Structures are given as C-alpha cells and as structure tokens.
C-alpha cells in the first residue's frame, strides 16, 4: 500500500517530489565550499601534467554551462506551451453550459497542473548562485602569477574551472529536477484535457442518441 501511494504521489504530484528532492540536494551540498574544494583539487592534481588536464577541464566546464543553458531554454519555451494549453481550457469553460458543474470541476485538474508546470518552469529558469569566472578575478590572477611559471597559472585556472563545475553541479541538478516536474505536470494537464473532451463528446452523443430513441418511441 505504501509503495502504491508513493507511486501515485510521484505520478500526480511531481512538484512535491521535485521540492523534496531539491531540498535534500541543498542539504547534502551545503557543507561544500570553494576553498575546501580548491585545496582538494590542488592536492589531487599536484603531480599531474598541465597539458593533459587543460582540455579535460575546459570540456567538463563548458559542457556543464551548456547543460545549464539548455535547461533554462527548455523551461522558457515551456511557458509558451502552457499559455496555449491554458487557452484551450478557457475555450472549453466558455463552451460548457453553466449547468454542467461536474465538467467545470473536472477542468480544474488540468488548469492546476498547468499552473504548477508554470511554477516549476519558473524555478528552472530562476537565476541562483552560480560560479563563473569574472574579468576582475582574471586580472587578479594575472597579477598574482605575473612572476611565476606559465604552467602554475594554467594549473590555477584548471583548478578554478573544476571547482566552479563541482560547485555548480547541485544547482544544475536542481534546475533539471524542476524542468522534469514541469514537463510531467504539463503532460498530466494535456492528458486530462483529452480525457475530459472525450467524456464530454461521448456524453453529448449519448444524450442525442437517447433523445432520438425517445422521440421514436
């Protein structure tokens, strides 16, 4: 029974699941700090060659940035789909007779799902704490390593990119969870609209057939 209720919550309330999951991610990563990770990577890469790490660090860093941009782009485009879907619900409400209270109540389900999909999309596009190199930081690094070997400067930037990537991972995962919840709520809304329209059409046809036979007999 517990498994069934858990599955239903995951299916029908992805907003709640995303909120709980993201809260856990924040809790698990709140101890992470830039200085601690920087020291870890310095020790780990101390005996490594700069040339073998430079491209790897760049690829990992840029792939995470691209992932963030893709999530935000998809979440932003979701707003247009939600607006169109809400307009469908509005049209349905206009055409349904006032006496059909049941149909109006049923239409609240897709409407709530579209609202929740919009909230999840907003969370996915929301700008949060994100670690990126700044022009001022680069200037400070150049001054700091001015009289040191070029390899040390490159290693410093490699470590900086790896630390930034590791610090950003939880935020990107949180955005991804919100986007997944938005898609699920949107899908639930669309599916429920289709079901309601089918029931509504079937009801109209059933009434027409019933009236036809009543007129004959």
State pLDDT tens for residues 95-149: 665 546 666 677 788 889 999 999 999 999 887 777 766 667 667 766 766 777 7
What mean pLDDT, rounded, does the chain reach? 80
Q: With CA atoms as reference, report the closest residue to 113 among 12, 7, 196.
A: 12
Q: What is the pLDDT of residue 205?
A: 56
Q: What is the pLDDT of residue 141?
A: 65
Helices (DSSP H) in 96-149: which residue ranges? Answer: 101-125, 135-144
Query: pLDDT higher for 168 or 209?
Result: 168
Q: Which single residue is written with the structure tokens 């429920």? A: 192
Q: What is the pLDDT of residue 43?
A: 87
Confidence of residue 195 (pLDDT cuts 50, 70, 90): confident
Residues 6+ apart with CB under 8 A from 54: 154, 158
Q: What is the pLDDT of residue 46?
A: 79
Would you say the C-alpha torsion 167, 169, 175, 181 has a positive or negative sign? negative
CB 27 within 8 A of CB 170: no
CB 163 within 8 A of CB 34: yes
Residues 6+ apart with CB under 8 A from 96: 103, 104, 107, 200
pLDDT greater than 50 at residue 213: no
Confidence of residue 12 (pLDDT cuts 50, 70, 90): confident
Q: What is the pLDDT of residue 210?
A: 52
CB 125 within 8 A of CB 76: yes
Query: pLDDT higher for 211 or 16?
Result: 16
Residue 13 DSSP symbol = -
Q: What is the pLDDT of residue 145?
A: 67
Q: What is the pLDDT of residue 176?
A: 94
State pLDDT tens for residues 168-193: 899 999 999 999 999 999 999 988 88
Q: Which single residue is written with the structure tokens 């007779």? A: 97
Q: Cα separation of 206 and 217, whole Å?
A: 17
Q: What is the pLDDT of residue 148?
A: 74
Euclidean distance between the first and final Cα of the chain, in Å? Answer: 51
State pLDDT tens for residues 2-11: 565 667 777 7
| Mean pLDDT for the stretch of residues 53-75 | 88
- DSSP H or E stretch at residue 178: helix 150-216
Residue 146 DSSP symbol = T
């Amino acid at each position: 029974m517990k498994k069934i209720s858990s599955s239903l919550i995951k299916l029908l309330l992805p907003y709640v699941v995303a909120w709980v999951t993201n809260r856990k991610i924040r809790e698990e990563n709140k101890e992470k700090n830039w200085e601690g990770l920087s020291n870890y990577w310095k020790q780990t890469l101390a005996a490594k060659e700069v040339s073998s790490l430079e491209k790897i660090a760049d690829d990992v860093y840029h792939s995470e940035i691209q992932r963030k941009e893709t999530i935000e782009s998809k979440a932003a485009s979701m707003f247009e789909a939600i607006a169109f879907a809400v307009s469908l619900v509005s049209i349905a409400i206009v055409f349904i007779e006032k006496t059909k209270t049941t149909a109006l109540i049923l239409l609240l389900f897709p409407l709530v799902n579209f609202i929740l999909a919009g909230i999840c999309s907003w969370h996915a596009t929301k700008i949060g704490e994100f670690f990126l190199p700044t022009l001022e930081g680069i200037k400070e690094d150049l001054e700091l390593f001015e009289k040191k070997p070029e390899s040390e400067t490159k290693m410093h930037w490699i470590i900086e990119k790896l630390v930034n990537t590791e610090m950003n991972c939880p935020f990107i995962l949180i955005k991804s969870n919100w986007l997944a919840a938005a898609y699920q709520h949107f899908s639930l809304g669309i599916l429920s609209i289709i079901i309601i329209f089918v029931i509504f059409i079937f009801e109209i046809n059933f009434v027409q057939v019933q009236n036809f036979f009543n007129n004959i007999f």
